[in-house]
Structure 1
Amino acid sequence: MSFPWAKEYQPQNGLTKFLDEKLPLPRFVYNAVGAGYPVPRNLSYFWNFGVLAGFFLVLQIVTGVVLAMHYAANTQVAFASVEHIMRDVNWGWLMRYTHANGASFFFVVVYIHIFRGLFYASYKPPREMIWLLGVTIFLLMMATAFMGYVLPWGQMSFWGAQVITGLFEAIPLIGPPLKTWLLGGFAPDNAALNRFFSLHFLLPFVILGCVILHIWALHIPGSSNPTGVEVKGESDTLPFHPYYTAKDGFGLGVALIVFMTFVFFLPNMLGHPDNYIEANPLSTPAHIVPEWYFYPFYAILRAFTFDFILPAKLWGVLAMFSSILVWFFLPWLDKSPVRSGHYRPLFRKFFWFGLIPVMAVLFVCGGAPAEEPYVMISQVATAYYFLHFLVILPIISSIERPDPLPFSITEAVLGSDKKAVLGENAEPVAV
């Protein structure tokens, strides 16, 4: 999107002029996150979480590279190498705890980022590609996190790998050989650990590339905003720097206070205690669970308990993947011309009193044992989850009567008074 009122980059000295002619990196940064990139003036703190997600991605890459220098991807010594990092490597405990808790915080900020996008319909035109790239990033995050969960080679690492890779066996005909090909054998062992370590190291850089595309796609139509109204002029925007760099900096400071509280005082709170026991293929844990941020999808997987045309296990696998893949189709499932949930009263009710509670229920059921009443509750919650996106959302978008929208972002911020919107001495512009 072209912003004619955006400030042009002007090199200030000989060095910046030389760079601008030969390698215009300063101009690129200025236009991407500086005063050359105007953004809507009414962005709330919910728009901070994209920056926070980028921060935690970089943090994961940096700490992961350091940990990889000391980790040994061999089933005989993998568990001991993690203990070596914790006890013998200078500041190894800090790197390990930062990396482990950083994964959890990365998912927290991404989940908030996603649900902000769902409420404010950030997937609607002209921002479909931004949303599609975001869902792709989330799928890559899930794959990366699963492989990272296996690397400490504790009890939950081994049995989690056994369960998740065993899901591929549900695929007709090609399932069993596909599982063997993925693991490099018939059960998680050296070959699997080496493959997972290699992919866990590689995929964050793939995610970083997708994030660059995500930001690139964002800069074409510009940022969305809480009203869902597109910018109509210079009065609707502020330069990203210094206004939003300061706001994002404050949000990052608050997030780091919470994050470092976990790293220094509650480092093992978000992990599973069984993963501090070395992997033993002959001893099955009483309750096998993935990392906590996978609980909702794990509950969907376990919600299918009986065969119907297809085996129950295959239905569970299809439902688990479909629960995320359905997000790809949201730009076409939600036909409402209004973006923001603030102006969609019916949508708002189903979002806050339908989708959010159902996700909370799935989260609880995913971490609970696979027994009643949790299985039955998971089945009801799973049914509602898919009904919300595939049935309720399209119907709402067809029958809902949205509230009146403000004429512009400036009007939404300053009110409808013409002097406040247009300026004390300004004349209204004929439309």
Structure 2
Amino acid sequence: MALDDTHDPARRSFVDSANGHADFPIQNLPLGVFSPPGGTPRAGVAIGDMILDLEAAAAAGLFCEEAAAAARAATGGALNAMLALGTGPRSALRAQLSTLLEAGSRFEAQVTPMLHAAADCTMHLPARIGDYTDFFAGIQHAMNAGAMFRPDNPLLPNYKYVPIGYHGRASSVVPSGHPVRRPNGQRKPASETVPSVGPSRNLDYELELGIWIGPGNRLGEPIPIGQAGDHIAGFCLLNDWSARDIQGWEYQPLGPFLAKSFCSTISPWIITPEAMAPFRVPQAKRPEGDPAPLPYLWDEADQAGGAMALELEVLLMTPGLGAKGLAPHRLGLSDARALYWTPAQLVAHHASGGCNLNPGDLCGTGTISTTEVSGYGSLLEITKGGREPLTLESGETRRFLEDGDTVTLLARASREGFVGIGFGACSGTILPAP
């Protein structure tokens, strides 16, 4: 992905809050769907603490050629049609948005009435999610979880050869801020002789990245690894909430079902591949003795720049911390470079058997953990399956999540010589089971 004027660290916006903004400086320009006060859902672009009404800008004729086609496609309260257009129109739209919003823009007076304070707006899912696939590409998480059940052989024999994934539930994906209802389900811990039905006792979070699909492929036609990046429209944060006790009873032999389908939370902004271009890094070299990816998953360019320098943070706010005026407790500080497979490898593998991906489909990377406890991406790992509870500054303890707890995921991309960007918050608060 080429660098251009939109990445210039000297570029500033006439929107004052964008200059120095932790997530949404003018170098980011993520895409989403929002409702202004009293309005209906519509396409928008985050710029500092404001949201530009993309549909209003398009109606005013502020875009031309490919950018105009992209803006016109971003209608109807979902971005699927725009995502389907691919890299060219999306890049053209980004370039013209950067010109519209830069300091000294001759369009400032025209654009200013199209800006809405983000704090006054409601965010929605950015696209209609037809299908959701969750992968298992975080090798350290796979090893940590596997060691609890197979101490001598944490990884199954296929792990280093094939990107493991399963079909998730698209209907229960929600945007940040939507409450998370604790699920009921069957549970049977080892200490009980028969299963029972009730609220999950071991509710957990999972720190993941989401991958948005742009142009799809026809049924029966695989996506070559060298072209897989062109089918990625952007990224988000993803919390794939997990009921560990329900999962432990139901997952054999087919894997997660009710333990995962009750809710998955995403950050509502699509961070485009163009915005992430300065932060692409080589894929980590595999440890000595690990097999090389099979040819359909190997591309030199993807290995050279298919990973992302992205710091990931997980914060926990509890009722006790809030009552005492204490800051959220940091549960983990992870790194997207810990993924064993690149996003392009996940997409290429997904389509390799002929599965047709569609614009607006969502893929999760799987839980991202580093080798240190401070970088673990779930409470399952941090508390060793609940056997070693956390003690918080409030005096509360946590094996797993309790009602009233709020988990927030954050992401920060940074590189010397460039303006850092973020993803915005991915947050959810646990409500009691029905």
Relative to the length of structure 1, the TM-score reads 0.22
Determine which structure has the larger helix proportion and give its number. 1
- Structure that is richer in strand per residue: 2
Larger Rg: 1
State the TM-score, normalized to the length of structure 2.
0.22
